[in-house]
Structure 1
Amino acid sequence: MSHDFVLNGKRFRPVSNSKSGRVASDALFTFSQLGEAFSATYSGAGFTDGHLIGQMTGTDQAVLIYHSRAEDGSLEAGEATAVFSEVKNGSILIDMDWRWLNGSKAFGTSQYQEIVNE
């Protein structure tokens, strides 16, 4: 299976998030990638120690799981599907449909954009 999007070493910030989402606009995601497998660390207001791991399932799609520790010490975990696209400035957008597997069991959508020229 081939993939068109290279995430290794790239950083992303949220552009939008459902009201039930926990990721604030200051969150920073830093990605690593090896073939179709990728991972990221993230942190921001409301949580610490966030991690995700994913697998490309097509040229522009992936599945992933994520977990984090909230500032109150609670642990949270979820799963998502992602679709990757490129915008006019050449940066990557990630659109995710996600759901928490514990806690509130909320679900929603989020969009993340690659940070360029920062």
Structure 2
Amino acid sequence: MLRVTKSLNNRRFSVVENASGLSDARTVFHYEVEGDAVWGTYKGGHIRMGNQVGRITGPDTIELLYQCITTDGEIRAGWSRGTVGVDEVGRTTLNFVWGWLSGANGGGESSYVEVDA
């Protein structure tokens, strides 16, 4: 749990790959962690605003529920399971498998990398 907390708490991430989703390189995710609880906000690109809440499930894994309103005024919600890692230059990475629960069908995989505040 400590490794995930140190890797995510008060850190920001942008999209590296998300072929099936709404978020893109213009979307910034900001995470907070307290104990085993994870939450955050995201916006940018096609996302007007969004939030997420979840929990740490292992030494390098999390699960989240998320919801957003798009720039087109659509409301969507979904789930994701992710792995926290580190890339070749030492930046924290996130890799998710996700799916829609409301507002759309399907799902996919996505990857994110830490960005400077």
For the criterion TM > 0.5, the same-fold answer is yes
Q: Return the offset for 1:25.
A: 1.1
Equivalent positions of 1:78-97 (< 5 A) are 78-97=78-97
CA contact (8 A) 1:11 1:115 kept: yes
Corresponding residue for residue 44 of structure 2: 44
Corresponding residue for residue 105 of structure 2: 105
Corresponding residue for residue 13 of structure 1: 14
Residue 3 of structure 2 corresponds to residue 4 of structure 1: yes
SS at match of 2:113: strand
Q: Return the offset for 1:58.
A: 0.3
Identical-pair percentage: 30
Moved beyond 2 Å, runs of 4+: none
Residue 59 of structure 2 corresponds to residue 59 of structure 1: yes
Q: What is the letter of the counterpart of residue 4 of structure 1?
A: R
Deviations 1:72-103 (A, max 9, x none): 21210000100111123221110000001122
Task: Structure 2 unaligned segments of length 5 or more: list them.
Answer: none
Considering fraction of residues, name the structure with more strand.
Answer: 2
Considering fraction of residues, name the structure with more helix.
Answer: 2
| Number of residues of Structure 1 aligned to a counterpart in Structure 2 | 115
Task: Structure 1 unaligned segments of length 5 or more: list them.
Answer: none
After TM superposition, the score normalised by the length of structure 2 is: 0.91
Q: Return the offset for 1:55.
A: 0.5
CA contact (8 A) 1:3 1:60 kept: no
Residue 39 of structure 2 corresponds to residue 27 of structure 1: no
CA contact (8 A) 1:3 1:36 kept: no
CA contact (8 A) 2:14 2:24 kept: no
SS at match of 1:101: strand
